[in-house]
Structure 1
Amino acid sequence: MSFKEEIRSQLISYLNPSYIEVDDFSAEHSGHTGNPENKPEGTHIKIVLVSSSFLGKPKLEQHRMVYSILKPWMDRGLHAIILETSS
């Protein structure tokens, strides 16, 4: 399973989104400070999520929910996340 598929699977499992989009654009940052090893995946992602789990929660709390799910990947080098959440 690819990095992107792993994250997608976990987000679906925890948040049951009605819409999900996960894009890995790590290759575009090859050689940059955040990707000095030129990894083709796993350092830079964009996530768009629509989930009823976010209903009534402020954006900060929504983002914290997602970050807690992403922690294992952040520990392995994920460092740039563009995150759009809504209910």
Structure 2
Amino acid sequence: MSLEQELVQRLQELSPNYLEVVNESSGHGGYFPGKESHFKAVIVSEAFEGLRLVQRHQLVYSAAGNLLSAGKIHALAIHAFLPSEWNGQDTSSPECAHAPKN
């Protein structure tokens, strides 16, 4: 199972109304085909009710567990919303300064 698939599976424990996990590794330095190191997760869930942003991120880190360790996921951009906050916001990631140049 790929890291992306494992991450999706683990984030399901947050009972998301909407979940999008994107492998953004190709936009970062040292990329090679198949590399899984940088991800973005957009999660809309009632599990975030009453939590501050840092607490929402901690909940996501807890769900991801050991996937966020050396040799696995290096970076995880988190966009965590309650259903009442989610309006299909733009969650685009900025370009990495070390991205491969075309």
Using the size of structure 2 for normalisation, the TM-score is 0.70
Bigger Rg over Cα: 2
**CA RMSD, Structure 1 to Structure 2 (Å):** 1.7
Consecutive unaligned residues of structure 2, counting only runs of 5 or more, are: 83-102
Consecutive unaligned residues of structure 1, counting only runs of 5 or more, are: none
Contact 1:24 1:45 in 2 (8 A): yes
CA displacement 1:21-41 (0-9 Å, x = unmatched): 00001122241xxx6xx4733
Q: Distance in 1 between matches of 2:29 and 2:6?
A: 21
Using the size of structure 1 for normalisation, the TM-score is 0.81
State the percentage of identical aligned residues.
Answer: 31
Q: Please identify runs of 4+ aligned residues in structure 1 that moved more than 6 A.
A: none
Q: Distance in 2 between matches of 1:39 and 1:46?
A: 18
Task: Report matched runs for 1:2-21 at 5 Å.
Answer: 2-12=2-12, 14-21=13-20
